C-alpha cells in the first residue's frame, strides 16, 4: 500500500511539473471592436523583416490568448490585428502578460498592460510621441535613463528614424547597446542602419550653403516696430540664429527650449536672433493682383500673428526680424533654409559654430563649448 501511495505521489508530482513546464509564457486579454479577428505577434529586429512567432483568433467577445512553451527571446515585438499594430518589449522573465484595449485606439497606445514593465514603459513614451508631447530632449533623457539599452535604442529608432540631424543621439543609443549586447542581432543591424543615416548626414552637410567654421552671412531686416537689426552688429556675443514662423507647429513647440537656454545664459554674452518666415509670398500676391488693399490686409494679419506668437511664447529678446515674404525670405535663401525650425550657432567672432540644434540640451551643450573655450562660462 505504501508503494502504491508513493507511486501515486510521484505520478502527481511529475504531472504537476509537466504542467508547469508547458505553461510557459502567455499574452492574453480583451480587445474591444476586434471580435473574431486574427491576432499576430511578430519579433522585430531593427532593419530586418519581422518574423511571426505566434497567432490566434479572437472569440466573439474579443478575447484572445497567445501561449508560448518557451519564454520569448528578449526584445521588441509587434502585436497586430489587421492593419493596427503596437510595439511591446519582453525581457524573457514575463509569465502571464495581460493586454486590454480598444482596436479603434490601439495605435495611439491607449491600452492597459500588466505583467510586462518594459512594455508599459514603451507604451508610455510611444503614447507621448503619438500625441506630440515629447521633444528631442525627452528622447535623449529616455535613452540615458532607461535600464534596458535595447529599449532605448528602439525608441530612438522609432522617434528619430532616418533624420540625420539627430545622428549624435542615435549613436549614443548604439554605443550603450554595443556595450551591453555587442553581438546581438539588433546591435549589428542597427549599426548598419546608422551607417546609412550618417552617410546621408555627410551628404547633406556637403550641400550646405553655410558651413561650420565659415563667417555667418549678415542679415539686416526690420523688427515689428520698424527698427532695423543687423546680425553683424552682434559680433562679440554668442548668437543662436533661429529661423521660425508663427504658423509652424514644430517651431512653436521648440520655442520653450530656446527660451530656457536664453534665460539661463543671457547674462553671459548669449542672445537669440530670430528670423520669421511669416508673411505673404509671390503666389499669394499674384492671386490678389490689383487688389492692393487685400494684400495689405493679408500682410497685416500675418504680421499680427508673428507679433502675437512672440508674446505668447515669451520670446523676450529684442532681435526679431522678417521681410514678411514667407519661404521667399532673403535670409532663408542665404542660409539655405528649406525647413523650419532651423538654427545656427554663431560664435563671438561671427563664425558658424554648429548647425540645426534642437532641444534645450543640444543648444546648451554647444553653447557651453563656446563659453568654456573663451573662458566666459560662469557657474
- Quote the CA–CA distance of 198 and 160 in Å, as a whole number: 13
| Residue 290 confidence (pLDDT) | 67
Mean confidence (pLDDT) of the chain: 88
Distance CA 91, CA 147 (A): 11
How many residues are there in the chain? 379
pLDDT for 181 beyond 60: yes
Q: 22-128 with 220-373: one CATH topology?
A: no
What does the pLDDT average to over 290-297? 80
| CATH number of the 22-128 domain | 2.60.40.180
Q: At what angle do helices 136-145 and 117-130 cross, to 10 degrees?
A: 170
* Helix H or strand E encompassing 58: none
Q: Are strands 51-57 and 38-44 parallel, antiparallel or unpaired?
A: antiparallel
50-59 pLDDT, tens digit each? 899 999 999 9
pLDDT at residue number 8: 41
pLDDT at position 198 is: 83
Cβ-contact 43, 73 below 8 angstroms:
yes
Helix/strand/coil (H/E/C) assignment for every residue in 85-98:
EEEEEECCCCCEEE
Is-contact 304 297, C-beta < 8 A? no
343 forms beta bridges with 242
* Spans of all domains in the chain: 22-128, 135-206, 220-373
The CA-CA-CA angle for residues 230, 231, 235, to 5°, reads 115
Check if the beta carbon of residue 330 is closer than 8 Å to that of residue 276. no
User: Looking at residue 72, what DSSP letter applies?
Assistant: P
Q: Give the model's confidence band at 11: pLDDT under 50 very low, under 70 low, under 90 confident, else very high.
A: very low
Query: What pLDDT is recorded for position 20?
Result: 39
pLDDT for residue 16 is more than 60: no
CA dihedral 253, 258, 261, 263 (to 10 degrees): -100
* pLDDT of residue 217 exceeding 50: yes
For residues 169-178, give the mean pLDDT: 92
Q: Cell 528614424, residue?
A: 161
Q: Within a 10 A sphere around the Cβ of 328, how many other Cβ atoms?
A: 16
Which tens digit of pLDDT belongs to each residue from 225-284? 999 999 999 999 999 999 999 999 999 999 999 999 999 999 999 999 999 999 988 888
Query: How remote is the C-alpha of 127 from its chain's centroid?
Result: 12
Q: How far apart are CA 94 and CA 86, in angstroms?
A: 18
DSSP run (H or E) holding 227: none
Count the Cβ atoms, other than its own, within 10 Å of residue 232: 13
In sign, the C-alpha dihedral spanning 169, 172, 176, 181 is positive
CATH 3.40.30.10 applies to domain 220-373: yes
Rounded Cα distance between 347 and 353, Å, is 6
Q: Has residue 22 got a pLDDT over 50?
A: no
pLDDT tens, residue by residue, 106-163: 999 999 999 999 999 999 999 988 888 888 888 888 999 988 999 999 999 888 887 7
Q: Are 309 and 281 in contact (CB under 8 A)?
A: no
Q: Tell me if 261 sits within 8 A of 367, measured CB to CB.
A: yes
51 phi and psi angles, rounded to 5 deg: -125, 135
- Measured distance CA(297)–CA(280) in Å, rounded: 10
- Nearest CA to 241 out of 351, 369, 371 is that of 351
Alpha helices in the chain (DSSP H): 2-23, 117-130, 136-145, 149-160, 167-180, 185-206, 249-265, 282-287, 292-312, 330-334, 360-373
Percent of the chain with pLDDT over 70: 93
Backbone angles phi, psi at 231, to 5 degrees: -60, -35
| Grid coordinates given for 6 | 508513493
Neighbours of 131 (CB within 10 A): 11
Q: Are 97 and 119 in contact (CB under 8 A)?
A: yes
pLDDT at position 294 is 83
Distances (CA, A) of 123 to 43, 130, 166: 17, 10, 22
Question: Helices (H) and strands (E) in the chain — how many of each?
Answer: 11, 15
Q: Look at residue 132 in the predicted model and tell me its pLDDT.
A: 83
User: Which three three-digit cell numbers place residue 335?
Assistant: 542660409
Amino acid at each position: 500500500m505504501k508503494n502504491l501511495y508513493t507511486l501515486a505521489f510521484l505520478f502527481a508530482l511529475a504531472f504537476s511539473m509537466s504542467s508547469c513546464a508547458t505553461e510557459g509564457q502567455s499574452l492574453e486579454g480583451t480587445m474591444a471592436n476586434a471580435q473574431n479577428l486574427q491576432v499576430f505577434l511578430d519579433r522585430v529586429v531593427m532593419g530586418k523583416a519581422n518574423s511571426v512567432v505566434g497567432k490566434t483568433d479572437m472569440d466573439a467577445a474579443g478575447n484572445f490568448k497567445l501561449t508560448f512553451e518557451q519564454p520569448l527571446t528578449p526584445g521588441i515585438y509587434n502585436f497586430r490585428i489587421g492593419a493596427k499594430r503596437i510595439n511591446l518589449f519582453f525581457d524573457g522573465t514575463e509569465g502571464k502578460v495581460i493586454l486590454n484595449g480598444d482596436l479603434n485606439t490601439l495605435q495611439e497606445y491607449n491600452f492597459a498592460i500588466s505583467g510586462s514593465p518594459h512594455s508599459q514603459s514603451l507604451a508610455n513614451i510611444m503614447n507621448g510621441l503619438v500625441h506630440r508631447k515629447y521633444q528631442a530632449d525627452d528622447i535623449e533623457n529616455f535613452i540615458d535613463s532607461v535600464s534596458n539599452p535595447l529599449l532605448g535604442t528602439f525608441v530612438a529608432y522609432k522617434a528619430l528614424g532616418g533624420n540625420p540631424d539627430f545622428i549624435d543621439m542615435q549613436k549614443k543609443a548604439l554605443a550603450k547597446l554595443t556595450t551591453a549586447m555587442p553581438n546581438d542581432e539588433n546591435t549589428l543591424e542597427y549599426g548598419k542602419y546608422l551607417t546609412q543615416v550618417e552617410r546621408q548626414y555627410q551628404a547633406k552637410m556637403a550641400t550646405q550653403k553655410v558651413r561650420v567654421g565659415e563667417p555667418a552671412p549678415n542679415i539686416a531686416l526690420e523688427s515689428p516696430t520698424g527698427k532695423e537689426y543687423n546680425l553683424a552688429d552682434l559680433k562679440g556675443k554668442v548668437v543662436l540664429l533661429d529661423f521660425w514662423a508663427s504658423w509652424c507647429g514644430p517651431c512653436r513647440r521648440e520655442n520653450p527650449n530656446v527660451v530656457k537656454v536664453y534665460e539661463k545664459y543671457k547674462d553671459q554674452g548669449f542672445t537669440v536672433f530670430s528670423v520669421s518666415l511669416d508673411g505673404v509670398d509671390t503666389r499669394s500676391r499674384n492671386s490678389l493682383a490689383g487688389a492692393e488693399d487685400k494684400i495689405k490686409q493679408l500682410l497685416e494679419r500675418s504680421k499680427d500673428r508673428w507679433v502675437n506668437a512672440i508674446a505668447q511664447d515669451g520670446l523676450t529678446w529684442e532681435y526679431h526680424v522678417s521681410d514678411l515674404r514667407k519661404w521667399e525670405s532673403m535670409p532663408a535663401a542665404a542660409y539655405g533654409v528649406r525647413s523650419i525650425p532651423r538654427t545656427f550657432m554663431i560664435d563671438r567672432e561671427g563664425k558658424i559654430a554648429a548647425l540645426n540644434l534642437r532641444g534645450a540640451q543640444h543648444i546648451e551643450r554647444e553653447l557651453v563649448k563656446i563659453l568654456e573655450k573663451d573662458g566666459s562660462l560662469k557657474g
